Chains A and B, each alone.
Chain A
């Protein structure tokens, strides 16, 4: 592991501390929303999870681009791990979003909201990434095909993100507008803390998963060498 990177233990501790601070701010400092009441508190976990999913998919695509540029094998694992994290956070986005929809709109899902449907398309697109990847034998061909697929998916991220602003249904709330965040200072501080905690947690998970996958690969190579 590179010594220039901050230690995983320190980052994990910071993520836990930030998560604790975020929970305290969300439930004890941030005021209750006048319109939605208590159910608006789901916003502080749902939106950061969604933004983290976008970031993970973006990271996966960036590593895929680096793989195609340099042919560096390590980028294949990094891209795969980023997309795996993005899919997990994407599933969480859909789950927490469904719960919030039921609390606010009275339905678990609505096909009339472009934001929801586009996020589902993005999620399913990256789910198909795993089917593609594991249908090809390991090697340079699989690395390149997976990288190209990962790069195609990144185009859906801005479409999904800005769909809410372009949509005409206005079912999904728009909190961040050109005039800034439509919430009080306490709410915004709680949101930023929750966002930082979840992003950091995702990064810790990314590095842990990557270390596990690399160790797995090294052990497999070692076993093959010892078996000869």
Chain B
């Protein structure tokens, strides 16, 4: 690989790595949001039962 080819590969590689890292960060964030949404659904389902106990 010539010197010019190495620099071109490095420049395009930097951009590709950035896109992949960004996709990984977004995937991790999506996974966290999914987990948190699940927790909130469980919390919301538990609430009416607590309310009935308090009323009764």
Show the binding face of A for B, using Cβ within 8 Å: 37-39, 41-42, 45-46, 49, 88, 92, 95-96, 99-100, 102-103, 201, 205, 208-209, 212, 215-216, 219, 222-223, 226
Contact of A41 among B2, B8, B18 (CB under 8 A): B8
B3-53 residues at the A interface, CB under 8 angstroms = 3-5, 7-8, 10-12, 14-15, 18-19, 22, 26, 29-30, 33, 36-37, 40, 43-44, 47
Per DSSP, chain B at the interface is helix
Are B4 and A37 closer than 8 Å at their CB atoms? Answer: yes
Interface centre among A45, A88, A99, by most chain B C-beta atoms within 10 angstroms, is: A99
Give Cα distance in the complex from A210 to B55, angstroms: 41
Show the binding face of B for A, using Cβ within 8 Å: 2-5, 7-8, 10-12, 14-15, 18-19, 22, 26, 29-30, 33, 36-37, 40, 43-44, 47
Interface centre among B5, B11, B33, B47, by most chain A C-beta atoms within 10 angstroms, is: B11
Give Cα distance in the complex from A41 to B10, angstroms: 12
Min Cβ gap B37→A in Å is: 7
Chain B residues contacting A208 (CB-CB under 8 Å) are: 26
Min Cβ gap A162→B in Å is: 25
Given the contacts A38-B2, A92-B18, A226 and B44 also touching, CB distance less than 8 Å: yes
